[in-house]
Amino acid sequence: MIWSFLAVCFSGWLYVDASYRGPQWQRWVFKPVTLLLLLALAWQAPVLNTTDYLILFGLLATLVGDALTLLPNKRTLYAIGAFFLSHLLYTICFASHMTLTFFWPIPLVVLLIGVALIATIWSRLADLRWPVCTFIGMTLLMVWLATEQYFFRPTDYTFSIMVGSSLLLLANIIWYITHYRRRFSADSAIIAACYFAGHFMIVRSLYL
């Protein structure tokens, strides 16, 4: 397991470094390689419940979505659908471990984040408005459920899924703002780091 962990970290570092300094081919190579290594790491988890396999399928959906982003723009809708499916599978897995609880400040904060993000990029989305909004909504739901679990049951497992889902949300927020509004220095590297770390923390939850 230690060698798989080191391989994931090394590949992830090369992916983040390529996002910051290039070359572009290195980024295209190590992004899918990192996800495949994460998939292998998840498969090696000592005990996999039935719902835990949803995380593996979520990683596969993410891998498909990343591959579709390399194709022409007409495939963007399919890529969004793949990422939506990935976050949906993560959400179902998280929900299967939770009890019925509700703490209203959490969904309120999550809702305000979503409204602010959509308001920022709405005028630039054109035909992708509703697919992007639906995907953002699913990501916010994933973060809400993960955070709700940590608030009522603070364990290593709930901490891991909360941090992982929050990092994925942060990666998407930065990507949408920089893609549709204004870029800034090292934005690609920050997105890559949040993206990799988010998936890694979710896979880490399988070992807890």
Residue 90 has pLDDT above 90, yes or no: yes
Q: With the C-alpha atoms ordered 21, 177, 162, 78, is the resulting torsion angle positive or negative?
A: negative
Query: In which residue are the tokens 């992982």 written?
Result: 164
Residue 108 or residue 72, greater confidence: 108
Give the pLDDT confidence of 134-144 residue by residue, as tens digits: 999 999 999 99
The domain limits of the chain are: 2-207
User: How far apart, in Å, are the Cα atoms of 177 and each of 2, 53, 70, 153, 158?
Assistant: 37, 32, 20, 33, 28
Q: Which residues of 31-53 are buried (b: 16+ CB within 10 A; e: fewer)?
A: bbbbbebbbebbeebeeeeeebe
Residue 1 has pLDDT above 70, yes or no: no
pLDDT at 130: 93
Residue 99 has pLDDT above 90, yes or no: no
Q: How many residues can be counted in the chain?
A: 208
pLDDT at 177: 94
Q: With bands split at pLDDT 50, 70 and 90, how would you rate the model's confidence at 4?
A: confident
Residue 70 has pLDDT above 80, yes or no: no
Task: Report the distance separating Cα 161 and Cα 207, nearest Å.
Answer: 12
Give the pLDDT confidence of 12-21 residue by residue, as tens digits: 999 998 888 8
Contact 112, 136 (CB under 8 A): no
Q: Which residues of 142-177 are buried (b: 16+ CB within 10 A; e: fewer)?
A: bbbbbbbbbeeeeeebbbbbbbbbbbbbbbbbbbbb
Q: With bands split at pLDDT 50, 70 and 90, how would you rate the model's confidence at 193?
A: very high
Query: In which residue are the tokens 């980024």 written?
Result: 27
Residue 3 or residue 30, greater confidence: 30
Contact 12, 196 (CB under 8 A): yes
pLDDT at 74: 67
pLDDT at 168: 97
Contact 160, 147 (CB under 8 A): no
Contact 114, 165 (CB under 8 A): no
Mean pLDDT of the residues in the chain: 91
Q: With the C-alpha atoms ordered 198, 202, 162, 52, is the resulting torsion angle positive or negative?
A: positive
Rg (CA), the chain: 17
